[in-house]
Chains A and B, each alone.
Chain A
């Protein structure tokens, strides 16, 4: 960055050297042989006051015309061209230094700033992306741990539910067994009671029939007399 002004000055100097080197042939090539000869022949005619034939036979004129065939310097331009070219170059150079260079410098600085800002922005974006990545990775880790926790919790719940169901089923089975045993005992007791009542009814029926068949008039009279004696004996 510090060598930039030197490079900027070296560029127009190099252009000046190239211009000096090339301007000569360019100017020489601009003045044609025919033009040269026509110009010099016109001067000779004018010298001879319009006598063309005299001018054409004059050896001095012919020498001058022959010189038109000699090429100008291939390196050095005409002096006036150097002056004008140099002046133009200096004006252009000054304009470039005063106006162009700051503009170019500003544009370059702006571009550098923009690139720097872009780079900073890219760095920031990279940092943001990395932070987002870290956040996502943390969330992913959290999600994995949460999923693992949920799975463990679900397994624990399932195990508890299974244990509860087993315990309830065992309790129900025990209750069913107890009820069945109680019902069986009750049914057994009821059957015994029914059987006893049935036997009693049969026995009583038989006894009643025997009593009825044995209660003739004599027995009835005896029973009544015995009753009267019993009442009479129950004094008070």
Chain B
């Protein structure tokens, strides 16, 4: 469960993005930035390092997002990093996306696959998840080479693992 700070920041991001009127684009950009932060330890530690001056950290954020994200997204990331919450930014973004989807009466399905899913695959997967769980979901795809092949879907605490990695792990367990 997200703590109060994470929830508070997520609601703030949602309020700002809604007020600016480009909620969907901000969700996609923040999700991409959060995934980049999760996969890059050096970037995460730099932005979370309190010994690095705030101006330097904000400059790093500007360098990363300049021309790649909307002004709203840049401002929101700068707000979180400037407040010294960079280490919690992925969790804040997850809460923000869940909050945003909930506002549309949907859940968020985080899909990890070795390759990007086509739009058709996303739609069919969303329909399949609805068929399986009864939930309307929004698909968020994370490209993860460690999956090797197939898909791993996370909806809240539920995980549907159809990856080649899982089958290899099962094979490894069978050797023991």
A231 and B132 contact, CB distance less than 8 A: yes
The reply on A123 being an interface residue by CB < 8 A is: no
B168 and A208 contact, CB distance less than 8 A: yes
A234 and B115 contact, CB distance less than 8 A: no
Instruction: Give chain A residues whose Cβ lies under 8 Å from the Cβ of B149.
Output: 211, 215, 219-220, 223
The reply on A80 being an interface residue by CB < 8 A is: no
Name the residue of chain B whose CB is nearest to the CB of A203.
B175
The reply on B65 being an interface residue by CB < 8 A is: no
Q: Answer whether A200 and B131 are a contact pair too, CB < 8 Å, given A220-B115, A220-B149, A227-B151.
A: no
Instruction: Give chain B residues whose Cβ lies under 8 Å from the Cβ of A208.
Output: 148, 168
The reply on A225 being an interface residue by CB < 8 A is: yes
A231 and B164 contact, CB distance less than 8 A: no
The reply on B43 being an interface residue by CB < 8 A is: no
A23 to B122, CA, bound (A): 188
Instruction: Give chain A residues whose Cβ lies under 8 Å from the Cβ of B129.
Output: 231
A236 CB contact (under 8 Å) in B127, B132, B172: B132
The reply on B71 being an interface residue by CB < 8 A is: no
Chain A interface residue bracket vs B: 20 to 34
Instruction: Give a binary string over B134-150; 1 marks a CB under 8 Å from any A CB, 0 the rest.
Output: 00000000000000111
B148 and A235 contact, CB distance less than 8 A: no
A64 to B167, CA, bound (A): 194
Instruction: Give a binary string over A194-236; 1 marks a CB under 8 Å from any B CB, 0 the rest.
Output: 0011011001100110011001010111011111111110111
Query: Which residues of chain A from 28 to 56 have a CB within 8 Å of any chain B CB?
Result: none
| Total residues of chain B contacting the partner, CB 8 A | 25
Chain A: minimal CB distance from B107 (Å): 14
Instruction: Give chain A residues whose Cβ lies under 8 Å from the Cβ of B114.
Output: 215, 220
The reply on B162 being an interface residue by CB < 8 A is: yes
Q: Answer whether A223 and B164 are a contact pair too, CB < 8 Å, given A215-B149, A228-B121.
A: yes
A232 and B168 contact, CB distance less than 8 A: no
Chain A: minimal CB distance from B144 (Å): 13
Q: Answer whether A235 and B175 are a contact pair too, CB < 8 Å, given A220-B115, A224-B121.
A: no
A225 and B121 contact, CB distance less than 8 A: yes
Instruction: Give chain B residues whose Cβ lies under 8 Å from the Cβ of A212.
Output: 148
Instruction: Give chain A residues whose Cβ lies under 8 Å from the Cβ of B151.
Output: 223-224, 227-228
A231 and B162 contact, CB distance less than 8 A: yes
Instruction: Give chain A residues whose Cβ lies under 8 Å from the Cβ of B124.
Output: 225, 228, 232
A232 and B127 contact, CB distance less than 8 A: yes
A235 to B114, CA, bound (A): 25
B128 CB contact (under 8 Å) in A199, A203, A232: A232
Contacts A224-B121, A235-B131 supplied; 5 other A-B pairs, CB < 8 Å: A204-B168, A215-B148, A226-B150, A228-B151, A231-B131
User: 10 closest A-B pairs (Cβ-Cβ)?
Assistant: A200-B175, A232-B128, A227-B162, A231-B128, A227-B151, A223-B150, A223-B149, A215-B149, A220-B115, A228-B128
A interface residues (Cβ-Cβ under 8 A, vs B): 196-197, 199-200, 203-204, 207-208, 211-212, 215, 217, 219-221, 223-232, 234-236
What are some 14 contacts across the A-B interface (CB < 8 A)? A200-B175, A203-B175, A211-B168, A221-B121, A223-B151, A224-B113, A225-B121, A226-B150, A228-B128, A231-B153, A231-B162, A232-B128, A232-B131, A234-B160
B interface residues (Cβ-Cβ under 8 A, vs A): 113-115, 117, 121, 124-125, 127-129, 131-132, 148-151, 153, 160, 162, 164, 168, 171-172, 175-176
